[in-house]
Structure 1
Amino acid sequence: MRLPPICSLGLGVPAVLATQKVLGVGGKGNPLDDDFNKFAIDALGEFHVTGIAIAVVDGMESWAAGYGNATLPSSQNGDPIPVTPSTLFYCGSTTKAFTAATLSLMIDSGIYPSLSWQTPISTLIRDDFVLMDPYTWEQNHLTLEDALSHRTGFPRHDKSLGTFYGPDHHKATVRDLTRSLRWLPMVSEPRTKWRYCNLMFMVVSHAMQTLTGQWLGTTFRERIWAPLGMNSTYLSLEDALAGPEHLAGGYYWDYDAEVFETVSFSGLDEASGAGGVVSNVLDYTKWIRCLLNEATPLSKAGHEAIKTPRMAMSGNGKGYDSPMLYALAWQTSTYKGHRVYTHSGGMEAYGAEVYFLPDLGYGVVTLGNTALTSNYVGNILVWKLINDKLGIPESDRFDWAATAKQQLEDIVSSIDNAVERLYPDRADPPLPHLLALEAYTGTYFHPAYQNLTINLANGSETDIHRHNTKPRLRAVREDVVWQNTFDFEHVSGEFWVVFINMLKVPNGLNEEAAKAEFRVGATGRPEQLMIEFMEEGSEGVIEFEKIN
């Protein structure tokens, strides 16, 4: 994929993009004024974002606005539906904060006398939290706190998350996902390195449901959402669609055709406490105000617990005074001497950004409906508001827009240079693969990653980045939470690069590259496929056995 120059408003952007509505209470000057509205609309056009909602909390006052389209015209719907502050969006990993906060309430309740942040997970779900043989200590000692601060030693393993399990091919539950850990490798010693892991929040979700005997969405509503009046917040796609609010459609920008493409709604059962919330910015202002004021329903101890840093994150916090730390489902650092808490979220075609600054009594949330670039625009808008609030001169502001553009270029460069990056010492000229392409086709199985069925792709199945129409090996994985395609490119001998793209969002912005090796047995046929997934560093080598 080659990115064209970032376009300005009007190039492939629907005219209704300029539509916006503002709600406000209180007597302070509205930060979402005409100048900000123009800034927001320009950012949507520049980064190809369909629509975004934003809300600001400043002490006891709040403002909210919607820009662009919640739903674009289609054959079934002839008119666009604009974003309003009440529009619902998938909120992705901002869900994690509700999981940690709800667990704090369970700890405070006294109903579960042995429950604390240091409780080993295995004592709560002993039959389900089982790890590979080398990890006996970890199985017995990894705690709830470890899981909620991403310091367990497990990487993401997101591509192992299935939607069906067992001989009966039943719909996945968080228990099924938890039990898959027994076949997954760790990549570092516990408590030594920060590695983001959605699966561990699913494990905690399962533990919480086991303790309470009820669905996590019910617990969220009883303990947090109902007390805060968050009546437009859901942990179920079906409930969100049945509610009175409009759920924004999901989109991605096709950089080749220069059009928005529709992404179908995804179910949320598997995401659970890791990323299953659907809500709007109006409800999130109630949540932000609770966090700012250290208000009920959380206790003072609960507020302190979820905000206390547990691990240093990888790399430096761009634009911040100091490196980024991770608390319980919150990233935290300082900016111009003020403590900042933040977390982002992404669900295929949606992006969320939540920020709050306790010293200022100030918070901002953005929710958008375009893959990845919603988050870029969200950060650009949030930081303009924070800098305006603090009166920071333009010359002293971190350039979030330039950073976003560079990240887009880096994504493309990373994929274009994948062979060189993953195999710098490959044979030159490359050795031929031992067998004909057809011989490598078939189904390969791993107990956690499940079936990987490789076929010979024909010329009509074009590789999006290399426009490759030659016969090649390809797998389409639809029975996983993050549906994806695997395209194999030969490197040398039995070594390959696998280009992994999102099936529902195939514009390449979430594409990854993995190392792969076919192992041919004495029979002269492939018997194993070794893949090293590389999301945020190596995720360990996964061994697939050929089963047919």
Structure 2
Amino acid sequence: MLSKAVCLALLASNALCQQRALNQWPVVANPEKQVITSELSEFVEKIMKDGNVPGLTLGVVHSNGTVELGAFGRKTEDGDEMTVDTLYNIASCSKAFLASSMGIPIDDFVQGRNQTPLPPGLTDLFPGDWELMDKWASEKATLRDALSHQTGLHDFSYHPTDKPVDVTRRTRRLRPTFELRQRYHYNNQHYIIGAHIISTYSGMPYTEIVKERIWKRLSMTSSTFSPNEAALSSKLAQTWTANRRRILFWFSEEVAELSAGPAGIITNVVDMTRWLQTLLNADVDSVTNETIIPRETYDANTRTQSIVSTRLCPRMGWDTKSYQGHNLWIHGGEILGIHSEVLFMLDSGLGIVTLANGDGKNPQELATMYRIVEDFLGLDRKEFERILVTIAASRARSEDGSAQVADDVKYPSPLSLPLEEYASKYYDPGYGNITLCAPTPHPSDECADVLESWSFFENTTEATQQVLYAAISSLWISHLRLAHTDGDTFGVSGTYLFTNGYGKDKSPFTAEETGEPAASAEFWIIHAEGSSLVRDVALNGFAGEMTERQRIRGTVEETAEIWLTKV
């Protein structure tokens, strides 16, 4: 029989929320502790106007059961007002539900309700399927490592057509960014795999586990994993980019299973306050006194797993920090068109959730949350004022619109070969095929489609621009743009192209500004017998920081995050 010690080592979770009737807002039982005041509402409305936030909903939970709710701005491009029951995708705030759910099949086995134990190591969970590229890391990696982002695996290799089992089997083909437990490095794959683990070992889909064992018991009646179900409710918020273009709801029904674990929950602030109430009550429903998630799971999830900085310590599904003598647990979520923030403070008996239907609106959400925290606890307005300064500086740069010119003007070295020589099909076992296209008089059918899509935004008929283009299969972007920077190196930008616009505005737009490339592609040129040819290409910069490979140095191939071989 699986030992209790092994079970406790596997538990990884946080908690849930209280059943409570919420049919008006603000709902305040104790006026002395009221948070959503007219003064706060005026502040929220102003910061939304200044930051181009279309709409925002707010929920505040007190340890005594008091719940306050507020809704601001618009829900649709027709001007329908935001309401507290408006549904949003909460993106990565979904991860805490996955971490909480992981304790359910483990506890079911301990209690004799489940005959299938969870092995302690990740390789034992899916023999022959899950592995990392490094053998030692594969043998030693645990579920705790996976859910606290310490496997060294980088993100972005999953595709919209993937099933969780595909993601599980692909990990062995991905170059590690860091060694196991060397460094916190965020990725979504292991939350996709986490949902696959729960489905496999509980005997029912992960989504059903959450619905039946968490949401149903807490009367979270509006929450769902189904975009179609949310849309049919007529309560789903429409979403906008940072540049005020309406955008589609990002996850389709076809990717609902894939996104369920890391980012797939659709809910509202009413349901989220029930989740927060139970978090404040150590995973026990304060109405029924029923334990929703095993206490060992709750304790494991609220325990620090690694230290990112002196201010931030990630846990499974949450980050935690000490702020002016108070501990808080916090996590944000963002996909194109929405942003969410969830925060709770066990020692202060306070929980807050904000949901916004605009891209990149976390500064406005965090400013609201920290103003509440600081005023509620009588603290100095340090973080609140710091965020306001950041918002003001960002707005000033945006309004200025002038490009910053570097003092040391760079004169790049030319390409070694004509641009069309770099255009080809390349392959990486972790990422699959990618075809780079150059402006040519007679492109292939595939490249003709790619160039036509980009032609809505720039001239793709002349090779003098020294730009390569590609369409890719990704959950987050549809196209890549590679612009020559120096020698045989290109800057890489990713975006999603809407050639026919969206909503009422049918003019073309991109979902993200391409801007200054954060990633790079360095082509490996072979010189032999008086001729030269492009062999392979190294992609770097996708990790967002210097990797262990780059720190120890080596050849272009050895230090590459992704090594694409020419087909």
TM normalised by structure 2 equals 0.79
Determine if contact 2:468/2:483 at 8 Å carries over to the other structure: no
1:239 paired to 2:233: no
Which range moves more in the overlay, 177-186 or 84-93?
Answer: 177-186
How far off its partner does 1:544 sit?
A: 1.3
Q: Look up the match of 1:154.
A: 153
1:474 paired to 2:468: yes
Q: Look up the match of 1:179.
A: 169
Determine if contact 1:454/1:473 at 8 Å carries over to the other structure: no
How far off its partner does 1:33 sit?
A: 1.8
1:534 paired to 2:542: yes
- Tell me: CA distance 1:480–1:511, structure 2 relative to 1, closer, same or farther (3 Å): farther
Q: Distance in 1 between matches of 2:152 and 2:397?
A: 27
- Tell me: CA distance 1:409–1:208, structure 2 relative to 1, closer, same or farther (3 Å): farther
How far off its partner does 1:196 sit?
A: 0.8
Q: Look up the match of 1:301.
A: 296
Q: Distance in 2 between matches of 1:411 and 1:285?
A: 35
How far off its partner does 1:129 sit?
A: 0.3
1:449 paired to 2:449: no
Q: Distance in 2 between matches of 1:432 and 1:200?
A: 42
Q: Look up the match of 1:485.
A: 479
Among 250, 253, 260, the alignment partner of 2:245 is 260
Question: Amino acid of the residue matched to residue 525 of structure 2?
Answer: V
Among 196, 199, 224, the alignment partner of 1:206 is 196
Determine if contact 2:494/2:514 at 8 Å carries over to the other structure: no
How far off its partner does 1:410 sit?
A: 9.4
Question: Amino acid of the residue matched to residue 175 of structure 2?
Answer: P
Determine if contact 1:351/1:370 at 8 Å carries over to the other structure: yes
Q: Distance in 1 between matches of 2:175 and 2:234?
A: 42
Question: Amino acid of the residue matched to residue 196 of structure 2?
Answer: H
Determine if contact 1:350/1:368 at 8 Å carries over to the other structure: yes
- Tell me: CA distance 1:405–1:253, structure 2 relative to 1, closer, same or farther (3 Å): same
Question: Helix, strand or coil: the match of 1:176?
Answer: helix
How far off its partner does 1:397 sit?
A: 5.1
User: What is the identity percentage for the equivalent residue pairs of Structure 1 and Structure 2?
Assistant: 24
- Tell me: CA distance 1:450–1:58, structure 2 relative to 1, closer, same or farther (3 Å): same
Determine if contact 1:149/1:328 at 8 Å carries over to the other structure: yes
Extract unaligned runs of 5+ from structure 1: 1-20, 74-79, 165-171, 317-322
Question: Helix, strand or coil: the match of 1:70?
Answer: coil
Question: Helix, strand or coil: the match of 2:85?
Answer: coil
Q: Look up the match of 1:310.
A: 305
How far off its partner does 1:461 sit?
A: 4.8
1:229 paired to 2:219: yes
Count of matched residue positions in the alignment of Structure 1 and Structure 2: 486
1:248 paired to 2:207: no
Q: Look up the match of 1:3.
A: none
Q: How does 1:90-489 map to 2 (within 5 A)?
A: 90-110=89-109, 111=114, 114-115=117-118, 119-132=120-133, 135-155=134-154, 157-158=155-156, 160-164=157-161, 172-242=162-232, 244=233, 246-254=235-243, 259-267=244-252, 268-294=256-282, 295=284, 296-313=291-308, 315-316=309-310, 323-373=311-361, 375-394=362-381, 398-406=385-393, 429-456=411-438, 460-462=455-457, 471-489=465-483
Determine if contact 2:145/2:181 at 8 Å carries over to the other structure: yes
Q: Distance in 1 between matches of 2:489 and 2:377?
A: 54
How far off its partner does 1:469 sit?
A: 10
Question: Amino acid of the residue matched to residue 475 of structure 2?
Answer: V
- Tell me: CA distance 1:533–1:178, structure 2 relative to 1, closer, same or farther (3 Å): farther
How far off its partner does 1:87 sit?
A: 0.3
Determine if contact 1:270/1:481 at 8 Å carries over to the other structure: no
Determine if contact 1:105/1:299 at 8 Å carries over to the other structure: yes
Determine if contact 2:493/2:514 at 8 Å carries over to the other structure: no
Determine if contact 1:445/1:545 at 8 Å carries over to the other structure: yes
- CA RMSD, aligned part only? 3.1
Determine if contact 2:91/2:340 at 8 Å carries over to the other structure: yes
How far off its partner does 1:161 sit?
A: 1.6
Instruction: Compare CA radii of gyration and give the structure with the larger one.
Output: 2
Question: Amino acid of the residue matched to residue 303 of structure 1?
Answer: Y
Q: Distance in 2 between matches of 1:356 and 1:270?
A: 28
1:35 paired to 2:22: no
CA deviation vs aligned residue, 1:497-516 (integer Å, no higher than 9, x gap): 21233446534289752121
Among 48, 55, 60, the alignment partner of 1:56 is 60
Question: Helix, strand or coil: the match of 1:491?
Answer: strand
Question: Amino acid of the residue matched to residue 61 of structure 2?
Answer: V
Question: Which of structure 1's runs of 4+ aligned residues deviate more than 6 A?
Answer: 407-413
Question: Amino acid of the residue matched to residue 386 of structure 2?
Answer: D
